[in-house]
């Protein structure tokens, strides 16, 4: 199993800004959420096999992973494949600032990218193999093996869409809250979605 965890809240999240490779810390609420995630996962995974913890290298995910690591008594290692989508010139901008024609193109074309940024298709091409590799690592530990992956909203959506064999544009039909948990397992035909957007608090 791979447990995909979205990081706790940042001030940019609170203000509704696009947040890609910009690197803010968690706010006070986000730190509380990270501690709650750690406690919830320690309880949920108490009877599971070996746990490996990986995290996107950005500060908000690393800080969330640190709380989970303390609760699970494991070390967190960085996994660049879990980085958030690159919003390029749009990073830390409100959605309302995105021109209407660009917004329409973004929602209708999986190969559209913000200036200097990354497309939804490129994101899925990056995240899909990363998740499959982590699932394979979990499977090597047996049926009860678990990898916890702390990441961001867009990679979690991409992982779910890839598991379902869907078009990258399906990402617009999914909601992934901060401090939420999504679980995937290996199936005979690829990843299987077990739970989606579990809210810890």
Does 49 score more than 80 pLDDT? no
Across the strands, what pairs with 193?
184
Query: pLDDT category, 77, cuts 50, 70, 90?
Result: very high
C-beta separation of 99 from 184 below 8 A: no
> Of these residues, 63, 67, 79, 84, which one is catalytic?
84
Does 124 score more than 80 pLDDT? yes
- % of the chain exceeding 70 in pLDDT: 100
The DSSP symbol for 47 reads: T
C-beta separation of 168 from 121 below 8 A: yes
Domain regions of the chain by residue span: 2-199
Query: pLDDT category, 2, cuts 50, 70, 90?
Result: very high
Across the strands, what pairs with 195?
183
Looking at residue 90, its pLDDT comes to: 96
Chain segment 55-76, per-residue pLDDT in tens: 999 999 999 999 999 999 999 9
Chain centroid to Cα 2, Å, comes to 11
Does 18 score more than 70 pLDDT? yes
C-beta separation of 154 from 9 below 8 A: no
Q: How many Cα neighbours within 13 Å face the side chain of 131?
A: 32
Does 199 score more than 80 pLDDT? yes
Does 24 score more than 80 pLDDT? yes
Query: pLDDT category, 201, cuts 50, 70, 90?
Result: low
- For the beta sheet containing 51-55, the strands, ordered from the edge strand earlier in sequence to the opposite edge, are 76-78, 51-55, 146-151, 2-6, 180-187, 190-199
C-beta separation of 123 from 168 below 8 A: yes
Looking at residue 74, its pLDDT comes to: 95
Chain segment 162-195, per-residue pLDDT in tens: 999 999 999 999 999 999 999 999 988 889 999 9
Contacts 24+ apart (CB under 8 A), 103-106: none
> Of these residues, 7, 118, 132, 152, which one is catalytic?
7
- % of the chain exceeding 90 in pLDDT: 90
Please confirm, yes or no, whether 84 is among the known catalytic residues: yes
User: What mean pLDDT, rounded, does the chain reach?
Assistant: 95
Question: 184: part of which helix (H) or strand (E)?
Answer: strand 180-187
For the residues 99-119, what does the mean pLDDT come to?
Answer: 96
Does 26 score more than 70 pLDDT? yes
Please confirm, yes or no, whether 43 is among the known catalytic residues: no
Q: How far apart are the C-alpha atoms of 82 and 62, rounded to whole Å?
A: 11
What does CATH list as the number for 2-199?
A: 3.40.50.1240
């Amino acid at each position: 199993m791979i447990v995909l965890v979205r990081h706790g809240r940042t001030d940019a999240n609170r203000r509704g800004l696009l947040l890609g490779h910009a690197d803010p810390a968690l706010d006070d609420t986000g730190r509380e959420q990270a501690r709650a995630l750690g406690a919830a996962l320690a309880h949920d995974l108490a009877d599971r096999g070996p746990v490996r913890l990986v995290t996107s290298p950005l500060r908000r995910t690393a800080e969330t992973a640190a709380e989970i690591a303390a609760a699970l008594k494991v070390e967190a290692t960085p996994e660049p494949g879990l980085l958030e989508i690159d919003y390029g010139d749009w990073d830390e901008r409100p959605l309302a600032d995105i021109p209407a024609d660009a917004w329409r193109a973004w929602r209708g074309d999986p190969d559209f990218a913000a200036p200097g940024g990354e497309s939804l298709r490129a994101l899925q091409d990056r995240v899909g193999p990363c998740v499959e590799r982590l699932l394979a690592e979990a499977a090597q530990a047996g049926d009860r093996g678990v990898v916890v992956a702390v990441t961001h909203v867009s990679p979690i959506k991409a992982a779910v869409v890839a598991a379902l064999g869907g078009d990258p544009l399906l990402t617009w039909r999914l909601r992934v809250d901060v401090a939420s948990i999504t679980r995937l397992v290996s199936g005979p035909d690829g990843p299987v979605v077990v739970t989606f957007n579990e809210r810890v608090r």
